[in-house]
Structure 1
């Protein structure tokens, strides 16, 4: 039987930056994610967890935790961007591989500032920019695997150039499955009006990784009406714990189970900023809920 290996991430503890005094300290995150019953985690923003491989290995092992993936952003559609993107990717890929992770989640940078809403560039890519992005991701994924043995999993994101279901298909059509596949973030797809199960059924061979989250339809109605930036949407509670939002988790997990593959499914509820005592009870409830969905392949170890 295939396995849907469920874990969690720093994002579910309100962590968006490597160093922010308002965020949960990394030791508390590690203690609480283990107390929630998860074994698999992600690095979060590079520098939040220790970047020395031996120290990080010890921190994880002392709590019975294991690493599924690192995370990094890209802007490969821009001119002369390769060196800057590769420098960040290399740091994350090297650390991920050193502590046993086998994936790096690559996220497109946003076209507007998530906090202020300031427009940073046009929200629509030209055909030439699309080609630079997809060709660049093929090159990036190939280099990551050849040099560090980690697989690139591309994460569509709200307020980025790869956001809607249509853009997801365009990205997949322009990239090679041997170099890069999809981190299907269920919340971001729903946030942008897409159908997660339709994507799974149209491109089953490209589902390489999952982020599990839900969005609150009432908050999304305001976000859409006022064209709010992503950061403000998060502060309003756009991302909510299951089963309070969409997409409905049992049919989605069943669709993933039908793929017949082992895949990580990392709970990632955007909560920046959040009260320090908020994440732990949410994490425990979410784990219990996912375990109760009646999907045999859902595992936590």
Structure 2
């Protein structure tokens, strides 16, 4: 696997993810095959990847290690989905989902587990599944159970959880992100700041980094198209259809500007992964690779390093 010593002087390590290849599910005929993703992400100039939806990439650690190593790739994180605001009664089901993913993530040498809260409306059909605002009791469940998850994942697998604010979830806006961070233990819970989702929900990524710098444990680099976003917000379009409309766009054509975000991240003077995610589902199979290559070149122009030899 690639060594972390290849990171940028400011500690920023650039990668990409299956999401940037239109991959949202373990198996879907509209998605590119996993071997093609690995081939193309490596050729595009990235050396770090996330696992994506569990089961998309091989789940046997030895096989996945062979497949990634042969392409000069290493794994930065796995991803889990949770509905912890429902309280202790969902813990067993949540842990059953988390455990296999955490085990594979650790086996691949990664140190992070990205935690995405459950959606309050279906991301494809738009069906409202529950109220978009949590009660005080649900907030207490969310924060206490997330701390429990952070503790268990750290104790059992040596991984740090990084919670991902996401459109159409209860951790979305500046207000809700701040409330969540203020109510959770920084030793157990860090943030995966997704610049696109935070802008989608009206937040300022640079301000968040400057205000809660010690809580930023991981970055997803993404931009939104402001014109499409305005229509999405005005018409209350669910996240899935919004993505299909192109609300997440190729840098540097959207917001937020990524140069100041990366500059703010460098000022933290800590090692950070910055994983490119341009939500594109569904998309033609030949579309992701040219975008990924251009995005990598753009990020080099922002001062991120070239791939290690």
1:139 aligns with 2:164: no
Structure 2, gaps ≥5 residues long: 1-8
CA displacement, residues 257-284 of structure 1 (integer Å, 9 cap, x when unaligned): 1000110000000000000000000000
Query: Aligned to 2:197, which of 173, 188, 196?
Result: 188
Per the alignment, residue 48 of structure 1 pairs with: 56
Per the alignment, residue 235 of structure 2 pairs with: 226
Post-superposition, which runs of at least 4 consecutive aligned residues in structure 1 deviate over 6 A?
Answer: none
CA displacement, residues 202-256 of structure 1 (integer Å, 9 cap, x when unaligned): 1010010000000000000110110000001000000001000000111111011
Query: For the Cα contact (< 8 Å) 1:5–1:299, is it kept in 2?
Result: no
Per the alignment, residue 254 of structure 1 pairs with: 263
Query: Aligned to 2:278, which of 269, 279, 296?
Result: 269
- Deviation at 1:299? 5.8
- Deviation at 1:21? 1.1
- 1:109 & 1:226 partners in 2: Cα distance? 22
Alignment map for 1:1-301 (pairs within 5 Å): 1-79=9-87, 80-293=89-302, 295=303, 298=305, 300-301=307-308
Q: Structure 1 length normalisation: TM-score?
A: 0.98
Q: Could you say what the CA RMSD is over the residues aligned between the two structures, in angstroms?
A: 0.9
Q: Structure 2 length normalisation: TM-score?
A: 0.95
Structure 1, gaps ≥5 residues long: none
- 2:168 & 2:204 partners in 1: Cα distance? 17
- 1:177 & 1:47 partners in 2: Cα distance? 31
- 2:260 & 2:305 partners in 1: Cα distance? 13
Query: For the Cα contact (< 8 Å) 1:43–1:69, is it kept in 2?
Result: yes
- Deviation at 1:2? 2.7
How many residues are treated as equivalent by the alignment?
A: 299
